[in-house]
Amino acid sequence: MKREMAFTILAMICGAILSLSMMEGLLLSGMRSPTATEHPLVTWEEKAEFDSFAKSPWWKLSPTWQRSILTGLFAVIPLALSAVGFWSFLWHLNPNWVKASPRWKGKPLVVSMLVLLSVAILLLVIVSASISMGMGIRLLHTLALVIFFGLLWFIAGEMGWAGDYSSWKMGVPGKIPRPGASFLMGATVGLAASGLIWLDRWAIGQWMFLASEVLPKTFFLMRLPFRNSCYGMAAVVGMSFGIFAGLAAALSPRYLETKQRLRRFLLPSILFGILIAVIAGVYLRAANRYELGGKSLAEALRVPAGTSVDRTVVLFKAKGKPGELAIQRWPMESSVTTLFPTPASYTMGLTLENLCRVEEYLSKKKSRTRFSPAAIDLLRDGYYRLWDLGRFRQWEFFDSEWEPIRRNIFLNYLEFLPIIPANRSYLESYANENKWYASGKGALQIAKGFSHFGMREEAERWLGKARERGADISSVHLPSRALTEGKVKGRIRVNGKPPSNSKVLLLAYVRPLEELRTSPLLGSAQEFVEAQELDAEGRFAFSNLYEGEFLLALMTEKETLPFALAPSRIKVRNAPGIIKLTGQKPTRTLGEIGLVAK
């Protein structure tokens, strides 16, 4: 009994070490040399993690030493543990291999390896045949393990074909061979091994998918929870190894009494109870916090899947030139895909009622759930498609505090926003040095933002910070007086009357017209400067604009202007073309723009 307990504990230790070795190897192999240019704006918590990461002894090692350590973690340690486990496992399979006659010394191990190779080849044939029969991968995996361990018990077991290794007759002298029982016990161990593998994969997979949905999307903040989770996963894998070892000892193909086998079941049973309790406890706690139940995204948001009627968008391009406008279908729906627990797509019709319900869902949650990223994506994409740019930027900014990529994108297009207090508040928030640390690149973007908003003193201060933090500012020029009160106004009529339920959009002209001809409005969010609804007379008026070049676009009902209509069938009168604002010409009056569908 002591040997069996020692074997079980040894298996637990080997499993835990093997798991930690592989996880640490994955963590180290995923590391990239830290460079400040990759992180223009970080929280102080992220910076502390970044500094700690940059000072890691790992970066002081030569590439040769790094490769050697990774080789040890991925190959040497697993092989060494496998060797120790195999020798101990072989003894429990058939203790007679160490008592074999001198002429068999050293040969049982070789023979056992040849047997395993033969079984592996047999399994390969079975797997190939099963795949051609269309069997499920889980069933196939279970079947392979059942056959593998059944044949291993039958061939190498004391009650099986190997016997006492003095001859390859069935069983040992003086005892009845039991090949059927050997195969059945081996198959039972194989079935249990399959169940443990799928349980571990499920538990680890649940955490990995959950981490991808709710953990911070920055490597530096994920590093600590990932490493802490490695210890939990190592405990799960270690207990699984111990349970397998205990079952293998209890059901070993040896001549044991029933009471002896029952006593050997005690330890793996206790370990299995602990394993289930740990996995169930962690899962139930996470299920309550992160909504891991069977609820779908539509049920969580209380918004049924559906679509809305598509609209028509017209982009006015080059004035007085062929192809002076582009027309396209504008889908009034937003689609997301959730990955946890299984990939699922969801499409929501874009109405203010639906978007308000999504906002209500997020406002009620004290922490992020597995649906939070998808809900935020729905709001961002939804308001973007509705041309409600104020709310779009609110949620873009909200998400930027969690998503470093969103943060960097938002930081880059601050200099394209209208000069209004709401937009300036985003810049001032990023400039709050009690919360954020800006690298040289980030400080330079903030300086450009303040210059854009006409705050020259602040712009010069941040330009100095950019220089101190290593940014190249040799080509940067801050205007002495930035345009902050530019205006564009005009009027639009379609088929001789103002289009109802229509919006007009002002875009930054940042892409060549040739590219706009093929993909009119599939650019980045920074191109959308401002949008507003046309009044009853079809008038619009944009204000608080900066110096630059702009284009105009119209969104209207498909009944007013069908999106299937070829641009050549739409006659445009007084097309605005490229709209340019300067300090000398801060206002552009476009007059009446007329569209007539032929």
Question: What pLDDT is stored for residue 219 in this prediction?
Answer: 46
The tally of CA atoms less than 13 A away on the side-chain side of residue 59 is: 11
Q: Please name each of the domains of the chain with its CATH number.
A: 2-32+54-290 (no CATH), 297-309+334-468 (no CATH), 486-597 (2.60.40.10)
Question: Hey, what's the torsion of the CAs at 138, 140, 145, 147, to 10 degrees?
Answer: 150
Which are the contacts of 347, defined by CB distance < 8 A and separation ≥ 6? 305, 306, 307, 333, 334, 335
The tally of CA atoms less than 13 A away on the side-chain side of residue 496 is: 1
Question: What pLDDT is stored for residue 295 in this prediction?
Answer: 77
Which are the contacts of 193, defined by CB distance < 8 A and separation ≥ 6? 145, 149, 244
What six digits make up the tokens of 510?
Answer: 């940042």
Question: What pLDDT is stored for residue 547 in this prediction?
Answer: 92
Question: What pLDDT is stored for residue 523 in this prediction?
Answer: 55
Average pLDDT, the chain: 80
Q: What pLDDT, in 10s, does the model give residues 106-141?
A: 555 556 556 655 665 655 555 555 444 445 567 777
Regions in the chain scoring below 70 on pLDDT = 1, 24-38, 53-54, 56, 58-63, 65-67, 69-88, 90-92, 95, 97-137, 161, 164-171, 174, 208-229, 294, 318-323, 339-342, 511-525
Which are the contacts of 458, defined by CB distance < 8 A and separation ≥ 6? 431, 450
Q: What pLDDT, in 10s, does the model give residues 282-334?
A: 888 777 777 777 678 888 888 888 888 899 999 887 665 545 788 888 989 99
What six digits make up the tokens of 146?
Answer: 């059942």
Question: What pLDDT is stored for residue 220 in this prediction?
Answer: 46
Give the containing element (helix H, strand E) for 350.
none
Pairing of strands 333-338, 344-349: antiparallel
Question: What pLDDT is stored for residue 200 in this prediction?
Answer: 85
Question: What pLDDT is stored for residue 151 in this prediction?
Answer: 81
Query: Helix (H, G, I), strand (E, B), or coil: what is residue 533?
Result: strand
**Counting beta carbons within 10 angstroms of the beta carbon of residue 218, is it exposed (0 to 12), middle (13 to 18) or buried (19 or more)?**
buried
Give the chain's length: 598
Question: What pLDDT is stored for residue 580 in this prediction?
Answer: 93
* Inter-residue contact 538 to 469 (CB < 8 Å): no
Give the containing element (helix H, strand E) for 83.
helix 77-93
The alpha-helical segments, DSSP class H, found in 98-256 are: 107-132, 137-156, 179-214, 219-250
Question: What pLDDT is stored for residue 113 in this prediction?
Answer: 57
Tokens 């193909």 belong to residue: 253
**pTM for this one?**
0.74
